[in-house]
Amino acid sequence: MSNLESLKFFWPELILSATALIAILSDLIYERKDSHKVSFWAIGGLLLTFITIRLFGGSSINGLFMGTMALDPFSEFFKILIVLSTIIVMLMSFNSSELDGYRKGEYYTIMSIMAFGLVMMTSAIDVLMFYVAIEIVSIMSFFLAGYLKRNPNSNEASLKYVIYGAFSSGVMLYGLSILFGLTGETNFFAIKNAISQLGPDSNLALILSIVFILVGLGYKISAVPFHFWTPDVYEGSPTSITAYLSVAPKAAGFALIIRFFNIAFGSNSAMGSDEWSSLNSLPWPFLIALLSAATMTIGNLVAIQQQSVKRMLAYSSIAHAGYMMMAIPVMSQSGIYGLMIYLFMYMLMNLGAFFVVMYVQDKFDGENFDAFNGLGWKMPLLGISMTLFMVALTGLPPTSGFVGKFYIFAAVIEAGNQYYWLAFVGVINSVVSLYYYIKVVRHMYFEGERSDIVSLPESKLTTSLVLVLALPTFFLGWYFSPLVEWANNSLNFFLGI
């Protein structure tokens, strides 16, 4: 479809980019102490984006903008997830005392631009487009990670992020150039057609290019062995940004991995039927399965040793990336929609957990386990919510975390005995993770002084934000059929061009 005709399907993205521009312009009006008001513009723009995404929902068009973008329910699901998490993190940032003393106008502007990049990542079907989108996300996250510029940890986080980011996107570009050298195409569908014409003597080059591309994408979702930046960046960044980095780029990265590998390296029947396989029997599903097992095992084993809750959550987010990656190699519809459900649940519980950590960090000036001592008695609402988030992150039954894990494990088992080992590794890891999640609960209720003075969060925003994250985490564990149905309907995105 030509560029001009495509514009009318592009409203959400247009509004999102206008939001960023309006945010930076409105920053000129406000005094420094009022600079947080920029967020009203940013949140307003994001809400409008949310509405337009819903309005344009349901339609499926491949090949917008001369075949660089796709509009389909699959990307709609991820766009909604990304916009929602951006709004929640912006609201979280109101409460953050870390950010006091810095101008906040640019903070919200950069977040809007990052949200734009994430939205583009979910719907790109052209190699060039997806590279530009990834770069937007990476570069904006470098700034956000280093936003506390008087804090050496934050500087360190930003610098480490830059170095790892530059390296991994360089390696990814090399992989993409190999792919282009073999096929001469940049569009995913055209790449697939070209690959299916290639003989077996090109398999080595294809495998190397897949490995290199996985370096870049694995860095985005912090999969082992590209995870080394994660703990330091998560620890040094402002906690609100840590929460954001642990959810939104992961969601967009998974959307991109699913779309890219299933279109470009999947066989013709991909997504059209229940079963499909990899093109020219390239071993990428097995590679991702191996990475998945390594990711969750290393994430969990290192998380056990952490003293800081923020770092523990960083490693736990690596482990969660591992669980989610399990769903990709099975190459079935149930795997993909299991992953989507998991991501939605993960967004709620992980943002919630980081929100409580942020609150505790502000109030008690520490993020170690000891800072949580007695929290359950002092602040019952936060204590109960944090317990809920921890149980959900473990994946125990009465919460939404169980539903997400259940769908992923079911998909892996369903795929037949070739991936039983993966499911086994996943179950073992879930059990291991119970130890360090429950440690937080133990510190909140069984360590430190039990005080009878009960204090509630002083601001209504805090209370309502905790409830907004905690209630769905709980109730989606009981009543999840609308979400499952939504994810299931979002899957028909393989129309061909």
Partner 1 sequence: MADIVFWFVAFITVFSAGMVVTSKSLLYSAYSLLFTFLGVTGLYIFLWADFLAVVQVVVYIGGILVLIIFGIMLTNKITSVNISHSSMQKGVGAVVAIGFIASLGYMAISSPWLQAANTEPAETTASIGRLLLMDYLLPFEVASLLLLGALIGATTLSRKDEDG
Name the strand (E) or helix (H) holding 70. strand 69-71
Encoded tokens for 168 = 């991994």
Q: Name the one range near partner 1 by CB under 8 A: 40-48, 112-120, 456-464, 484-492.
A: 112-120
Regarding 147 and contact with partner 1 (CB under 8 A), the answer is yes
Nearby residues of 75 by Cβ (< 8 Å), 6 or more positions away: 122, 123, 255, 493
Place of tokens 């919200």: 108
Q: Which bin fits 63, alpha (ψ -120 to 50), beta or left (φ > 0)?
A: left
69 phi, psi to nearest 5 deg: -130, 155
Identify residues 50-69 at the interface with partner 1 (CB under 8 A). Answer: 65-69
Identify residues 161-180 at the interface with partner 1 (CB under 8 A). Answer: 178
* CB nearer partner 1, residue 140 or residue 270: 140
Q: N- to C-terminal Cα distance for the chain?
A: 10
Nearby residues of 116 by Cβ (< 8 Å), 6 or more positions away: 13, 16, 17, 20, 136
Q: Give yes or no for a contact between 339 and 324, defined as CB atoms under 8 angstroms apart.
A: yes
| x/- map, 342-381, partner 1, by CB under 8 A | ----------------------------------------
* CB nearer partner 1, residue 48 or residue 132: 132
* CB nearer partner 1, residue 51 or residue 198: 198
| x/- map, 425-454, partner 1, by CB under 8 A | ------------------------------
Encoded tokens for 352 = 């919630």
Q: Name the one range near partner 1 by CB under 8 A: 40-48, 121-129, 322-330, 382-390.
A: 121-129
61 phi, psi to nearest 5 deg: -130, 125
Give the shortest CB-149-to-partner 1 separation in angstroms: 6
Give alpha helix (H) positions in 226-306. 229-236, 239-264, 284-304
Burial class of residue 204 (count of CB atoms within 10 Å of its CB; 0-12, 13-18, 19+): exposed
Give the shortest CB-43-to-partner 1 separation in angstroms: 18
Return the residue of 31, 150, 365, 458 that touches partner 1, per CB under 8 A.
150
Q: Report which of 337, 188, 344 is spatially closest to residue 262, judged by C-alpha positions.
A: 188
Size of the site for partner 1 (CB under 8 A): 49
Regarding 24 and contact with partner 1 (CB under 8 A), the answer is yes
Give the shortest CB-52-to-partner 1 separation in angstroms: 18
CB atoms within 10 A of CB 434: 16
Return the residue of 74, 77, 143, 234 that touches partner 1, per CB under 8 A.
143
| x/- map, 73-102, partner 1, by CB under 8 A | -----------------------------x
Regarding 255 and contact with partner 1 (CB under 8 A), the answer is no
Give the shortest CB-26-to-partner 1 separation in angstroms: 13
Q: How far apart are CA 258 and CA 276, in angstroms?
A: 13
Query: DSSP assignment of 107-151, as one string?
Result: HHHHHHHHHHHHHHHHHB-BHHHHHHHHHHHHHHHHHHHT--TT-
Q: Report which of 342, 311, 304, 314 is spatially closest to residue 438, judged by C-alpha positions.
A: 304
CA 330-332-336 angle, to 5 degrees, is 90
* CB nearer partner 1, residue 106 or residue 414: 106
| x/- map, 198-217, partner 1, by CB under 8 A | xx-xx-xx--x---------
Q: Give yes or no for a contact between 369 and 437, defined as CB atoms under 8 angstroms apart.
A: no
* CB nearer partner 1, residue 135 or residue 275: 135
Q: How far apart are CA 493 and CA 259, in angstroms?
A: 9
Give the shortest CB-194-to-partner 1 separation in angstroms: 8
Regarding 9 and contact with partner 1 (CB under 8 A), the answer is no
Return the residue of 88, 90, 140, 171 that touches partner 1, per CB under 8 A.
140
Q: Name the one range near partner 1 by CB under 8 A: 45-53, 108-116, 216-224, 408-416.
A: 108-116
Return the residue of 48, 159, 182, 438 that touches partner 1, per CB under 8 A.
182
Q: Residue numbers of the site for partner 1 (CB under 8 A)? A: 3, 17, 20, 24, 32, 65-69, 102-103, 106, 109-110, 113-114, 116-117, 120, 126, 128-129, 131-133, 135-136, 139-140, 142-143, 146-147, 149-150, 158, 178, 181-184, 198-199, 201-202, 204-205, 208
